[in-house]
Amino acid sequence: MKVFKFGGASIKDADRIRNVTEILKKSGTNNILIVISALGKTTNELEMIVNAHYNQTGKTDELLEALKQKNEIILNELFADRSHPVFNEVNDRYAEIHWIIEDKPEEKFDYIYDQIVSIGEFISTIIVSHYLRSQGIKNFWFDVRDVMKTDNSYREGVVDWVQTQKLMREKLPALLEQGLVITQGFVGCTTENFTTTLGREGSDYTAALFSNMLDAEEMTVWKDVPGILTADPSEFPDAKKIDELSYYEAVEMTYYGAKVIHPKTIKPLQNKNIPLRVRSFLQPDAVGTIIKEKTSAHLPPIIVRIPDSALLSLSTRDYSFIEEGNMSLIYEVFSKHKVKIEMMQKAAISLSVCVENNPTKNQSVVHALRKDFSIRLNKNVQMLTIRHYNQDIINQLTRGKKILVEQKTRNTIQFVLK
């Protein structure tokens, strides 16, 4: 059994959905589970709808109608017959959003977010499943909420591994023997049957969970790049493809902010020694990059740049040391407000941390710590990480920049730059 994951870019319009269909025709149709994200930028647009509804801006209906029109174009290009059941099924999903937004919001933001934003994955999988059938490819549309059980941490659902694996093994093997199974990425469900999501860009993680729990032979992520590259090609046009990568190296890259795969993806695969391939849906015959337990490949410098970060500098007001007690307090605050520390450097009575530039969350952290610490917040800094660095690449990437923080190990060097 194999698991394929197709992201939003691979199904952003009718031509891309046709392209995915051709890939699946070549791959065979038995014992393949397909995890699909929302169409194109649909998640971003649904987030705008959530914000408009929650803040009662008056633009909710307008934003929803614009999204419906975009999807209508795709449907009309793929299905000539307006009586095809796909039209009603997609409209039923939009009706779910209408039910939510017709009343003023009373639930917490994160709960509302998950109920609305998750609809994107259901719409995309419905469209792709029906189109594949129209092209003679037998498949089964499967609601991931029937198996992916989480706690009620909305927007960051924590998966119940025991219950989820039990349900997957009960419900899916028989279907997989009969044809393709198409399901949603990013989405889960509480024991009370409320929809949750697994974190932004969580479809890779969904695919990895299926791979682990169903003992897949291999997992493939289909991207718009030829594989994993030494840097983001939009910023570094001379970035090179890496043919082989170890699990360890992949974890390091994703931890430091590389966007090719979700940071949580590797662990479920490594636990079962399941290879991960990153391939291009634009060049489906190319081999891409394989990630596995061990590789002897010599790696060139790998660059990860996060352009929009913030630097929080804390120092104790009473000149007490930044030791276990203060560190415990600081970590508790960051955890409570769901702020991920990307880089940290500690001195005797001070601590510098680089985090995502999220004004709302960062101000919550500052407010919570202000009583015990003096805090300075530098916005709009960039965090630069270089794996397997050399002096030439360091000089090239830091030239003309003010270095606020520098941290160096044998294999990795990091900078916070202004």
- For the chain, the first-to-last Cα distance in angstroms comes to 48
Mean pLDDT of 54-63: 97
CA torsion sign for 55, 59, 61, 64 is: negative
The pLDDT tens digits for 136-179 are: 999 999 999 999 999 999 999 999 999 999 999 999 999 999 98
Domain boundaries, the chain: 2-216, 302-417
Mean pLDDT over 361-388 rounds to 94
Any residues with CB less than 8 A from the CB of 409 and at least 6 apart, and which?
Answer: none
Dihedral sign from CA coordinates of 108, 113, 114, 115: positive
pLDDT at 89: 98
* pLDDT for position 408: 96
- pTM for this predicted structure: 0.91
Give the separation between CA 43 and CA 23, rounded to whole angstroms: 24
CA angle 350, 354, 359 (to 5 degrees): 110
pLDDT per residue as tens digits for the range 232-273:
998 999 999 999 999 999 999 988 888 778 888 999 999 999
The pLDDT of residue 254 is 87
Mean pLDDT (the chain) is 95
- Is the confidence at residue 135, as pLDDT, over 90? yes
Question: What's the mean pLDDT in 49-66?
Answer: 97
Most confident of 184-188, 196-200, 291-295: 184-188
**Residues ≥6 apart with Cβ < 8 Å to 354:** 309, 310, 311, 312, 341, 342, 343, 344, 381, 383, 405, 416
Q: Which two tokens stand for residue 300?
A: 């060139």
Share of the chain above pLDDT 70, in %: 100
Question: How far is the CA of 305 from the CAs of 302, 398, 414, in angstroms?
Answer: 10, 12, 10
Q: Is the pLDDT of residue 213 over 80?
A: yes
Q: What is the CATH number of domain 2-216?
A: 3.40.1160.10
Same fold, 2-216 and 302-417: no
Band (34; pLDDT cuts 50, 70, 90)? very high
Question: What pLDDT score does 138 carry?
Answer: 94
Contacts (Cβ under 8 Å, ≥6 apart) of 65: none
| 315 closest CA partner among 374, 366, 269 | 374
DSSP β-ladder status, 139-141 and 180-184? parallel
302-417 belongs to which homologous superfamily?
A: VC0802-like (3.30.2130.10)
How far is residue 186's CA from residue 262's CA, in Å, rounded to a whole number? Answer: 11
What are the tens digits of pLDDT across the range 309-329? 999 999 999 999 999 999 999
Grade residue 380 by pLDDT with cuts at 50, 70 and 90: confident
Q: Is the pLDDT of residue 30 over 90?
A: no
| DSSP collapsed to 3 states, 218-286 | EEEEEECCCCEECCCCCCCCCCCEECEEEHHHHHHHHHCCCCCCCCCCHHHHHHHCCCEEEEECCCCCC
Q: For residues 7 and 220, what is the distance between their CA atoms, to the nearest angstrom? A: 11
Q: Is the pLDDT of residue 297 over 80?
A: no
Residue 176: per-residue pLDDT: 95
Q: How far apart are CA 87 and CA 74, in angstroms?
A: 11
Q: What is the percentage of the chain residues whose pLDDT exceeds 90?
A: 92
Residue 296 pLDDT grade (very low, low, confident, very high; cuts 50, 70, 90): confident
